[in-house]
Each structure stands twice: as structure tokens, then as C-alpha cells.
Structure 1
Amino acid sequence: MQVFAIVISLLLLTYVAYRGYSVIVFAPICAVLATLLSGGHLLPTYTQVFLVKGLAFATSYFPVFLLGAIFGKVMETGGLAVAIADWIMHKLGAKATLVGIVLSTGILGYGGVSVFVIGFAVYPLGAALFKEADIPKRLLPGTLALGLFTFAMTCFPGTPQIQNIIPTKYFGTDSFAAPVLGTVAGLIIMVVGLLYLQMRVKSAKAKGEGYGEGHINEPDELASDHKHVNPALAALPLIAVLVLNYVMTKAIKNWDPEMVSKFKGITLAGVAPIWALIVSLVVGVIIAIIVGWKNIKTEKNLQAAINGGAAGSLLAIMNTSSEVGYGSVVSSLPGFAVVSNFLMGIFPSNPLVSEAITINVLAGVTGSASGGMSIALEAMGAHYLQAGVAAGISPEVLHKIASLSSGGFDSLPHNGAVITLLAICGLTHKQSYRDIGVISVLIPFATTFVLIILMSLFS
């Protein structure tokens, strides 16, 4: 019955998330249901576990969500995101449409721009190039997903996306952990994803299928009232975030440790990833405002961009915090001991396998890469670290496998970003999810396990 209680609550949370209901409302409901079915005390569990753990996550990562969202909105309002994407895609031309779209979305994501902002910014350009090249529009969401949901989000070293920041708390690492492993993983996913998309395009053209007619949400025109921004200048905020993040991460660890000595359990190495990203994003926002001012134009527009980013960040962090609170409740229940023992018993000699499977499953259940990874690492991160050290696996590798694994099953059909991407493109799951699934679920999942196997064979 104890395990049954967890399964029922997980299924309910998955169902309501897929149906589009807010997890801010239903995560505590599902947590309370699991507690009730397990014979626990409802109110103490809600106030002392769900709220405490969920708010602890928000406390740790709120600046990253807030500044990242503001950075993205300023890049959008200033016309910088569109300038970069437009330059890349038109430099490569219609014959390299797929590569251009993937590079555009990937570079913006690697520079710290929110995936939602990127989707809205790149979609009109992508749709125009797909139409020009007469490529079926149904393949556009999968092409966007390759740049949005994979290598830029979880693989390449130093990416400021939250999926690469969360593991630092549990493994004592920084955002540049296991750079070679991350780079290899990113290149594999990018190359295999592009080969798959090219195969799909070739197959469609062989059947005589083109862009198609009667699509909804077609971009009216690519022109806007934005003044042209030099692409090199538009890229400055992205470059600043990446470079400053690296420099600050290394520098903070060498600061005087006395500055944090009065804060219990805090070390400079532990706070370096968050502090470095805070400083980097603040500088990135300032540079983006300066470079994009001729499009922002007025204080009112700047105010709207900052307020819009702030509002969006609140929804994002509350969603994830609610999922973390739910996971903390589940992990406190008696039945979870059975589940965790089972998961940790999978290939006990290699904790990377258990870690990868656990994070993928929980990310799939919650429909959230950051939420699923946080749940898994909060419950079992200490075990993975201890088992990894005993097996001769570095914390950096544990970090990178955790990050890679969060970007697998998270992109199942009920994922909020998937639903939003399809809405932006004016397409349905039936039309386009097959390609999204292959690109952002199967290829990352397979890549993660291929790398684990190779590391096991040659270590």
C-alpha cells in the first residue's frame, strides 16, 4: 500500500500536468493524497515538508530564475535575439536551413536566454526559411527542439541554464564540470539530431510533401519596427555572460573564506556557481540594455521588459519549487524507501546508471527537467556522491550525467515547454511530437547511456 500511494499520486500529477493544470495547485494536492494513503499526518507534512523544502529551493535559485528571465526579455525587446538568429540563418542560407535554426536556438540558449523567449524569437525566421526551402512545417518544432531542449541546456560546459546549475549544490562542483564529457555529449546529440532531421526532410520530399497550406499561427511578416542591430554587438551580452561566468567561478573560490565563515555550512566553493551566475547575468542585462536601447527606446518599454521577465520568473520558479516540495514529501514517506532501494540497486557497482534512470524517470513523471532532477538529487544525491567516490567516479562526472539525464524523459508530451513550442508553431502533438520525441527524448537518453557504457569500459 505504501508504494501504491506514491504511484497513485505520481499518476495523478502526471495526468493533471498533461491536461494543462497548474502544478502549483496540484503538486501539494498530490503530496497530501500520497500522505493520506500512507497513513501520515496531512497538515504537518504540508507545512513542514512541502513548504519548507519547496521554499528552500526557491531561496537557493530565485536569483538565477529572475535574472535569467529579465535577461531574456531585454534581449527580446532590444531586438538582439532576433538579430543573432537572423544573421546566422541568412548567412548559411536556405540550403542549410536546419543547421541555421539549430545553431541560432543553441547559441541563444547557451548564452543564457530563456527557451521560451528563444522559441518566440526564432519561430518567425524558421517558418519563413522552411517555407522558402519548401520543407514540411510539421518538422519545424523538432528542429527548434534540438537547439532548445538538448545540447545548449544540459551538455556544453558553463551553460547558465538551471539544469546545469542544480547539481552543483549536491556534488560540490561548478557549471564547468566535466567539460570534455559535456562537449562530446553535446556534439553527438547535435550531429545525430541533424542527421535525423535531414533524413526526415529527404523522406518527405521524396513523397512530394512541401511546406503545406492552411497552417494556423503563421507569422504575418518578418519585418518589425525594430531597428537593425549589428549581430556582433547583439552577441556581446551572451559572450559577457559566458566569459564572466567562467572567470567569476574560478575567482570566487580564491576569495577570503572569512567572508562566509559566520554563515553555517557555507563555503566559497559551494556558493561560487550561484554568485558567479548572478554577477554574470547582471552584467549581461546591463550590456543588453545598452546595445538594444535604440529598440527599447523608452523607460516605459524597459520597465515592461523588466516587469515581464520578473513576472515570468515567478511562475517558473513556483512551478519548479512546487515539484520539489512534492518530491520531498514523497521521499519522506515509508514507501519511498522501497522505491529508492530498488533504484539504487540497479547496477550497484555503477551509480551513474542508477542516477541516470532515476532522474530520467522523475523528470518524465513531473514533466520538468529541473523539477525531476531536484527531486532525485534531494532524495539520493548524497548516496550517489558517496557511491561514486567509492567507485572512483568523480563528482564532476556525476554532475554532468545528472544534467544530461534531466534532459531526456522530461520532454514527454505533457511537458510545458513542449506544449508551448507546439502552440507557438501552430501545430499539434499528432503532427509534430514524433520528431520532438526522437530529438529531445530518445537521442539524449541514448547518448547518456552510450557515454556511461564507454566510461565504464575504458575507466
Structure 2
Amino acid sequence: MILQVLAIVLALGLLMFFAYRGYPVIVFAPVFTLLAVVISGNALLPSYTETYMSNAANYVKSFFPIFLLGAIFGKVMELSGAASSIAQAIVRALGSQRAILSVVAACAVLTYGGVSLFVVAFAVYPFAVAIFREADIPKRLIPGTIALGAFTFTMDALPGTPQIQNIIPTTYFGTDAYAAPVLGTIGGLMVLAGGLFWLERRRKEAAQAGEGYGTGHKNEPEVLENQTYPNIWIAVLPLVLVLLFNYLLSRGALTVNNWYSAELLKSFNIANVKTVSSSWALIIALCIGIAAALCINVRAVQGKLAAGLTAAAMGSLLAIFNTASEVGFGNVVKTLPGFKLIQNWILGISDNPLISEAVSVNILAGVTGSASGGLSIALEVMGKTYLTAAQAAGISPELLHRIASMASGGMDTLPHNGAVITLLAITGLTHRQAYKDIFAITVVKTVTVFVLAIVLSMF
């Protein structure tokens, strides 16, 4: 049995190592999956075609529209200049005296409005450089600042965020994007306060040491003063529409829960509309947001739309197949003999499902270097167990949703995380120069999740 546990640990370790080294997860997730299968003595080909591929395909079926439409929405917001208009307006309003807060706020507004994390990083970076240079704050603090605004509280904590990390739990717990709004808001404010405290402390230390913005940096953006962008009030309209219709279609008067009869849904093998209604609501909201973003600046978008849509589609395909590969990996692993011991160890950490869930999601998100990947694996493997335990303990599925979602955005930002690598590439900085602050934000997020889970377990 020890050998079978080691097979799983070895496969996870190799997947993390190769992801860190830049090798494609799509290729190596099945390779290491089958390695674990062989060592464990299970059937090789059935494990691949019937377990790995079936579960990966089911994940694509469930979430591809959200990945695709989210990528298109972000790209159209970028092409129309709306994303840059919002970032510029916030940075100007708060000024260089609040440079760090300005950048965090710009990232937060865009992320909460449904713009993908990668587009946010590209859109905000030029303005971050301008205001950090004006305030003479070291450039090495920019990645940590963008990470706080885009990769944390607006990604998975605040209720209603349309990011995929907040949508995945709805399938497993029958919740919606607004699950546990009070807990999510409290957690989000805790992360924001802790992150700002750390970054401001680092800024003051640099100022005392006489360190300024610095010179000789790579990937310095062009000066932006002569560029024009859509009016800020028009630019924010698509974000407002996405949030508004997502709410109305999830919990409001237009809720999609009432659109179809139970008899009709049964003919589509949908036993409970709540398992799909959150995805339906967000699909419609994103379509409305895309249409609005296209109308903002037709001339700017018109000549670049074909290339932009192609780039968005390719990016969404890569993102979802990376995640689906990790989901397939997790579903094969849970069939292996050694997994039972690992599962018992995780569940044995605490009798409270909230704490156990936070541990399992954090560990798997860290190992895979993916918030959505780690979250999907954890809930695919143990979601039903957590839901059963929560119901027995009188714990709301909404709390399970929020803790799982927030935990996915904790240790996922280890050095091999794709968003971290992309962010550093955009800013022209290295792990050695800037990762310390990204990791500090990661620690703040992780600690916050466990504090909330422990406090909730006391009641």
C-alpha cells in the first residue's frame, strides 16, 4: 500500500515539476496519470480512455462556454480601449500618492467585472509603470500589486464575481455565484487589508533605503499621454451589465431557474436545475457584456476583431484543456488503491468539512499550480463527501462553496503558476526580483481562508 501511495505522490510531484519547467500540462498530465496507474497495478488503457478522457470531456462540456465567452469579453474590452480607460481613470483619480491602492483598485474593478486575469495584467501594467515611476516606487513591487488586485479577493471571494473559480463550486454544491455573500465580503476585505499592509510596508522600507523606481528595466511600456480612450462612464457599462444580469438571472426576477419545467429538464438528464443555472446565467450575462463592449468603440474594434477573436478562442482552448487535463488526472487518481489512504489523511485533519476542504483545495491548487485545476480535482474527488458531512453537521452548502472558492486562490500562486509566470513576463521582471511579494500575498490569502474556516467551525 505504501508503494501505491508513493505512486500518486510521485505522479503529483512530476506534474508540478514539469509544469514549473514550462512543459505543457496537456501533454504530461496523462503521462504521469498513466505512470501512477502502472505502478498501482490498475488497468492502463481503460483508465485512460474511460476514466481520464471521459472526465476531461465532461469538464469541457460544462465550462467551455464560460472560458470562451470570458476570453472574448476580456479581449473586446481590451480592443475597444474600455479596459485601459477604466484603469487610467482610477489611477488618475487616486493619484501617485496612493499608487499601490490605485493599481489594486483598477485591477479589482476589471476582474470583478468579468475581464480575464491575463487581460487585466496587460491593461493595467502601462498605468502601473507610469504611476510607480512618478511616485518613485520600485518597479519590483508592481507584480505583487497587480496580483493583489486581480488574483485574490475579486477572483473568488466577493459574491457574484464571474471568474471561473467562483462558478466551479456551483456544479458540486447546487449554489450560485452569490453564495455566502457576508463571508465572502469579510474574507475579501481581510485579504485586501492584509495585502495593502504588506505592500505599503515594503514601499516604506524601499524609501528608507533610498531605492526608487530604478533604471535599465525590461519591457518598459510606451508613453501613454497622447492616447485617447472611451469615456469612463461608457467604458464601465459592459462590466455593470455583466454583474447586473448575472445577478438578475441567478437570484433576481429573471432567474433562469424558472425558465424550463422539471419535465423538460429531465429529458436533458438535468435532475436539478441549480447544478447548471449559474453557468446559464453567466453565459447570457457575458453575451450581453460582449455586445455592449463591441458598441463602445466600433472603429477601434472593427479592424482588429478577427485577430482578437482568434487570439481569445485560442487562449480559452489552452486554458480549459489545461484544466480539463488536471481534472482527468484527479479522477484517475481517486480510483487508485493508494488514494484511499490520502483521502483519509486529508479528511482526518479535521472533523469539520470546512477545514478539511480548505486543506485539500489549497494543497491541490498548489501542486497543480492552478486555482481552477486544484479546485476541480478536489471537488471531483471529495465534493460529495464534503457535502454529505456538511449536511450532517448543519453547515450550509453556500459556506462550502465560498471556502472552496477562496482556498483555490491561495497556494495556487506558487512559482510554477501560469498566471505568475505570465505576469512576470509582462512586467519584464524575474522570480528573484518580484516573486517575494507575490508569495506574501499568497500567504495572506491562505491564512485568511483558514482563519475563516476555523472561526466558522466554532459555531
The bucket for the TM-score relative to the shorter chain is over 0.9
Shift of 1:294: 3.4
2: distance between equivalents of 1:391 and 1:14?
35
Aligned to 1:229: 230
Task: Answer yes or no: is the 8 Å Cα contact 1:171–1:385 preserved in 2.
Answer: yes
Whichever residue aligns with residue 381 of structure 2, its letter is A
Q: 1:320 and 2:295 equivalent?
A: no
2: distance between equivalents of 1:453 and 1:339?
22
Shift of 1:223: 4.6
Aligned to 1:336: 339
1:374 pairs with one of 376, 390, 402 = 376
Whichever residue aligns with residue 31 of structure 2, its letter is I
Shift of 1:228: 2.1
Shift of 1:37: 0.8
2: distance between equivalents of 1:360 and 1:166?
15
Task: Answer yes or no: is the 8 Å Cα contact 1:252–1:269 preserved in 2.
Answer: no
2: distance between equivalents of 1:294 and 1:90?
26
1:290 pairs with one of 265, 287, 295 = 295
* Superposed CA RMSD: 1.1
Aligned to 1:264: 269
1: distance between equivalents of 2:297 and 2:310?
17
Aligned to 1:389: 391
Percent of matched pairs sharing the same residue: 54
Show CA shifts across 1:161-184 (max 9, x none): 000000001101000000000001
Show CA shifts across 1:350-394 (max 9, x none): 111110000000000000000001101001000000001111110
Aligned to 1:255: 259
The 5-angstrom pairing of residues 96-111 of structure 1 reads 96-111=98-113
Whichever residue aligns with residue 445 of structure 1, its letter is T
Q: 1:69 and 2:71 equivalent?
A: yes
Task: Answer yes or no: is the 8 Å Cα contact 1:142–1:433 preserved in 2.
Answer: yes
Most deviating of 281-290 and 38-47: 38-47
TM-score computed with the length of structure 1 as normaliser: 0.97
Aligned to 2:405: 403
Shift of 1:308: 1.6
Q: 1:361 and 2:363 equivalent?
A: yes
1: distance between equivalents of 2:349 and 2:424?
36
The 5-angstrom pairing of residues 75-94 of structure 1 reads 75-94=77-96
Whichever residue aligns with residue 313 of structure 1, its letter is S
Whichever residue aligns with residue 310 of structure 2, its letter is N
Q: 1:448 and 2:449 equivalent?
A: yes
1: distance between equivalents of 2:224 and 2:40?
56
Q: 1:14 and 2:16 equivalent?
A: yes
Q: Secondary structure at the match of 2:307?
A: helix
Aligned to 1:33: 35
Task: Answer yes or no: is the 8 Å Cα contact 1:150–1:189 preserved in 2.
Answer: yes
Whichever residue aligns with residue 452 of structure 1, its letter is A
2:313 pairs with one of 310, 323, 332 = 310
Show CA shifts across 1:315-362 (max 9, x none): 1001000111111111111110110011111112x1111100000000
1: distance between equivalents of 2:185 and 2:376?
23
The 5-angstrom pairing of residues 273-284 of structure 1 reads 273-284=278-289
Whichever residue aligns with residue 83 of structure 1, its letter is S
Task: Answer yes or no: is the 8 Å Cα contact 1:69–1:313 preserved in 2.
Answer: yes
2: distance between equivalents of 1:229 and 1:148?
22
Shift of 1:447: 0.5
Aligned residues: 453
Show CA shifts across 1:393-452 (max 9, x none): 10000000000100011000110100110111111111111100011x201111011112
Q: Secondary structure at the match of 1:214?
A: coil
Shift of 1:48: 0.7
Task: Answer yes or no: is the 8 Å Cα contact 1:167–1:173 preserved in 2.
Answer: yes
Task: Answer yes or no: is the 8 Å Cα contact 1:75–1:292 preserved in 2.
Answer: no
Q: Secondary structure at the match of 2:304?
A: helix
Structure 2 portions without partners, runs of 5+:
none
2: distance between equivalents of 1:277 and 1:368?
22
